[in-house]
Amino acid sequence: AQKVTQAQTEISVVEKEDVTLDCVYETRDTTYYLFWYKQPPSGELVFLIRRNSFDEQNEISGRYSWNFQKSTSSFNFTITASQVVDSAVYFCALSDLIFGTGTRLQVFP
């Protein structure tokens, strides 16, 4: 069975703070993919990143970074120096687009 857990329902930060969104997954597959999506108020899911299970290198893209740790089955997402425009619901997903329940991030000015 595949499962994605995002334990943080909602996080509120003040602009310029760093924030980490947690994602823990379960899968019996030896090869799998992990995703992060952003869902702004408009409702559309915006693809952020895809990682292959063989590639445990952390990735940085601008203010976004991802920490993939196979040993703890986690794929955490950090936003550095958060901005108001980062306010959205963020979803972690596993291979066949099995989604977690999402974390609502609110960034206050």
Partner 1 sequence: GAGVSQSPRYKVAKRGQDVALRCDPISGHVSLFWYQQALGQGPEFLTYFQNEAQLDKSGLPSDRFFAERPEGSVSTLKIQRTQQEDSAVYLCASSLQGGLDAFFGQGTRLTVV
What are residue 48's phi and psi, to 5 degrees? Answer: -110, -50
Interacting span for partner 1 (CB under 8 A) from 14-22, 34-42, 57-65, 79-87: 34-42
How far apart are alpha carbons 96 and 92 in whole angstroms?
12
CB of 47 to partner 1, least distance (A): 7
Cα angle 22-10-77, degrees, rounded to a multiple of 5: 25
Closer residue to partner 1 (CB): 43 or 109: 43
How many whole angstroms separate alpha carbon 1 and alpha carbon 49?
Answer: 23
Tell me which of 33, 64, 74, 87 binds partner 1, using CB under 8 A: 33
Residues between 43 and 102 with contacts to partner 1, criterion CB under 8 A = 43-47, 50, 91, 95-102
Total binding residues for partner 1 by CB under 8 A?
21
- C-alpha to C-alpha distance for 86 and 84, rounded to whole angstroms: 5
Contact positions toward partner 1, by CB under 8 A?
A: 4, 6, 33, 35, 37, 42-47, 50, 91, 95-102
